[in-house]
Amino acid sequence: MGDSEKLVANAVGVILEKVLMEFGVSNHTKIAQILGDHNMTFSDCYRKPNVLNLALKQVFDGEYLHPVQKIKTELMGLEEDHKIESFIELISKS
């Protein structure tokens, strides 16, 4: 992973944490725990969005698209080619 991709991954991680905190500390903690079970941090979600999708579904159940929408809104300023769009698409999968 190149330097610019690492920066984007780190920025995505920070945004994910910020958004999840807005949905409650317990939700943030649950997602962090699921990611940890997969040996991942929030920054790793950029490369492995399928695990984040799984975690969001487990924690938010049928309401997982609410945090996804907020994440999408926050990430649109980071537009890096089509990778951010692809990331959002993958975490939105039903």
* Amino acid symbol at 20: L
Q: What is the pLDDT of residues 44-57, one digit of tens each?
A: 999 999 999 999 99
User: How many residues comprise the chain?
Assistant: 94
| 8 A C-beta contact, residue 35 and residue 13 | no
At 6-47, the pLDDT tens digits run: 988 999 999 999 999 999 999 999 999 999 999 999 999 999
Sign of CA dihedral 16, 22, 25, 27: negative
- The pTM of the full predicted model, rounded to 2 decimals, is 0.89
